[in-house]
Amino acid sequence: MTHSNSVFPHLGPVVSTSKLNSTDKSSKRNGTHFWLGRAFPRLSVGLGVLLLVLAYGVLLSTPASASVTPALKLSTTTLSFGTAAVDSEVTRTVTLTASSGSAVTVKSASITGAGFTLVAGTFPTTLKPNQSLTLELQLRPTEAGSATGKLSIDSSTATSGNVAVVSLSGTGAGASPELKVSATALSFGSVDVNSAAKDSITLTSSSTSAVTVSSASISGAGFTIVGGSFPLTLNPNQSSTLQIQFKPTAAGSDTGQLTINSNSNSGAKAVVALSGSGTAATARVNLTWDAPSSSAVPVEGYDVYRSTGTGAFQLLNSSVNAQTAYVDSTAVSGTTYNYTVKSVDNSGVQSVASNQITVAVP
C-alpha cells in the first residue's frame, strides 16, 4: 500500500517507497522515507529559540558593576585620659582603619579642648583596604579640674559637614611631689682606723609630679657626703644617688645622721641614721739585732722594749727571747714606736739597753 503525499504535508515530499540501502541518508516513518535535510528547518527554529532563551538568561543573571563605598572605622568614639598631675603628660591613641574594599583618604584631623594636643599623625593619608593609622593624643593639664575636648576626623567617607568625632576627657590634679628614700638607716660595720668605707642612699620622685631636694646635711665623727649636689629636681620616677663615706680616726663606735630636705608632701625632712665602728688596724714590725761581740757572762737571750712618743718603755716579750730577732704583731697602723733591746744572762740579769730605733707604722 502506498501513502499519498498529503498524509504528511508538513514533513516534506516522499522520496521512495522502496527499502533504502545503508548508504541512504534518510529516515523512515510509517513506510515513508524523508530526507533529514528537509526536517532541519523545524529543528533549527527550535535551537534558535533555545539559544535566545539562554542568551536572555545570561543577560538577566549578570549583575551590573557597582562601586564600593569607602568606610573608615575608629577604634573608639570616647577617649579618657584619667587623672594627670598639673604640668605632666598622659598619652592615649586612636586607631583608624579602612574597613571596606575601597581605599580611604584621611584628609585632616583637628583637636579642641584645653590641654589636649595631637602629637602623632600625618595628613592627608590614604589607607588601603584593611590598612590602619594610629593617632597619638596627649593631655597636659595646666590647672586642676576636669578637662574635655573633641577630636574631629575628616575623610573621603564623610558627606558635607559630616566628620568622625572622638570625645576626649581627663582630670588635672594638683601637684603632689613625693620623695622616697631607699633606707632609713645605714651601717658601715667595722672599718680600720684611717681607712674609708662608702655606701649609698637612693632618692626617688615617687609621685606624678616633680620633687625638689633643696639640701642634705650630715653629722657624726667620720661621716661625710662625697657624692651628690643640691638643690636637685627629680621628675616623676627619676632617681639620684647620694654617696656617704665613713672614715674613723680612732677605734670605737661612731654614730651620725643624714638629713634630707625637700618639698615632699609626706614630709619636708627625711632622716637616715648612720653607724660604724673604728677598728685599730694591726701591723707587724720585724726587729733584728747583733749579739754582743764579747761578754764576761754567757748571754741567755734578750728582752725587747717598746714605747710610744715620749712614754715609758714597756717589755713586749713574756719570756726571754733566745733569737736575735723579734716580730711585734701588736703594732697599730698610723702609730710611731721606739724600740730597744737588752741582753739577759742565765741568772736573769739584764745588760744596759741597746741603741734606740724609731719605726713609723703606715
> What is the tens place of the pLDDT at every residue in 234-255?
998 999 999 999 999 988 999 9
pLDDT digits (tens, 9 = 90+) for 152-171: 998 887 654 568 899 999 98
Confidence of residue 121 (pLDDT cuts 50, 70, 90): confident
**Mean pLDDT rounded to a whole number for the chain:** 82
What is the value of pTM for the model shown? 0.45
Q: Reply yes or no on whether the pLDDT at 126 is more than 50.
A: yes
Of 173 and 247, which is predicted with more confidence? 247
User: What is the rounded CA–CA span in Å between residue 309 and residue 304?
Assistant: 17
Of 119 and 254, which is predicted with more confidence? 254
Whole-number pLDDT of residue 173: 80
Confidence of residue 221 (pLDDT cuts 50, 70, 90): very high
Whole-number pLDDT of residue 159: 58
User: What is the rounded CA–CA span in Å between residue 305 and residue 318?
Assistant: 11
pLDDT digits (tens, 9 = 90+) for 325-341: 999 998 988 889 999 99
**HSE of 102 in the Cβ direction (CA atoms, 13 Å)?**
13
Whole-number pLDDT of residue 334: 82
User: What is the rounded CA–CA span in Å between residue 233 and residue 214?
Assistant: 8
Output phi, psi for 236, to 5 deg: -50, 130
Confidence of residue 25 (pLDDT cuts 50, 70, 90): very low
Q: Are strands 197-205 and 239-246 parallel, antiparallel or unpaired?
A: antiparallel
Confidence of residue 231 (pLDDT cuts 50, 70, 90): very high
* Assigned C-alpha cell, 333: 697602723
Whole-number pLDDT of residue 214: 95
Architecture of domain 72-173 in CATH?
A: Sandwich (2.60)
Q: Reply yes or no on whether the pLDDT at 26 is more than 50.
A: no
Of 132 and 358, which is predicted with more confidence? 358
What is the average pLDDT across 342-357?
94
Q: What percent of the chain has pLDDT over 90?
A: 49
For the chain, give every residue range classified as CATH 2.60.40.10.
72-173, 179-279, 282-360
Architecture of domain 179-279 in CATH?
A: Sandwich (2.60)
What is the average pLDDT across 26-30?
44
What is the average pLDDT across 206-225?
93
Whole-number pLDDT of residue 81: 92
CA nearest 164: which of 129, 140, 128, 135?
A: 135
SS (H, E, C) the chain: CCCCHHHCCCCCCCCCCCCCCCCCCEEEECCEEEEHHHHHHHHHHHHHHHHHHHHHHHHHHCCCCCCCCCCEEECCCEEEEEEEECCCCEEEEEEEEECCCCCEEEEEEEEECCCEEEEECCCCEEECCCCEEEEEEEECCCCCEEEEEEEEEEECCCCCCCCEEEEEEEEEECCCCCEEECCCEEEEEEEECCCCEEEEEEEEECCCCCEEEEEEEEECCCEEEEECCCCEEECCCCEEEEEEEECCCCCEEEEEEEEEEECCCCCCEEEEEEEEEEECCEEEEEEECCCCCCCCCCEEEEEEEEEECCCCCEECCCCCECCCEEEEEEEECCCEEEEEEEEEECCCCECCCCCCEEEECC
What is the average pLDDT across 301-308?
97
CA dihedral 7, 13, 14, 15 (to 10 degrees): -170
Whole-number pLDDT of residue 4: 42
Confidence of residue 123 (pLDDT cuts 50, 70, 90): confident
Spatial contact of 127 and 96, defined as CB atoms under 8 Å apart: yes
CA nearest 79: which of 152, 173, 149, 144?
A: 149
pLDDT digits (tens, 9 = 90+) for 38-76: 443 444 444 444 443 444 444 444 444 455 667 888 999
Whole-number pLDDT of residue 52: 39
Q: Which of 8-22, 135-149, 214-228: highest mean pLDDT?
A: 214-228
Whole-number pLDDT of residue 53: 40
CA–CA distances in Å: residue 220 to residues 59, 201, 217, 275: 103, 17, 11, 9
Whole-number pLDDT of residue 67: 57
CA nearest 321: which of 352, 292, 300?
A: 300
CA nearest 226: which of 196, 251, 256?
A: 196
**HSE of 148 in the Cβ direction (CA atoms, 13 Å)?**
2
Spatial contact of 75 and 162, defined as CB atoms under 8 Å apart: no
Which CATH superfamily includes the segment(s) 282-360? Immunoglobulins (2.60.40.10)
Tally of CB atoms within 10 A around 248: 25
Q: Tell me the β-bridge partners of 73.
A: 97
Q: Which of 117-126, 210-219, 251-260, 305-314 has the lowest mean pLDDT?
A: 117-126
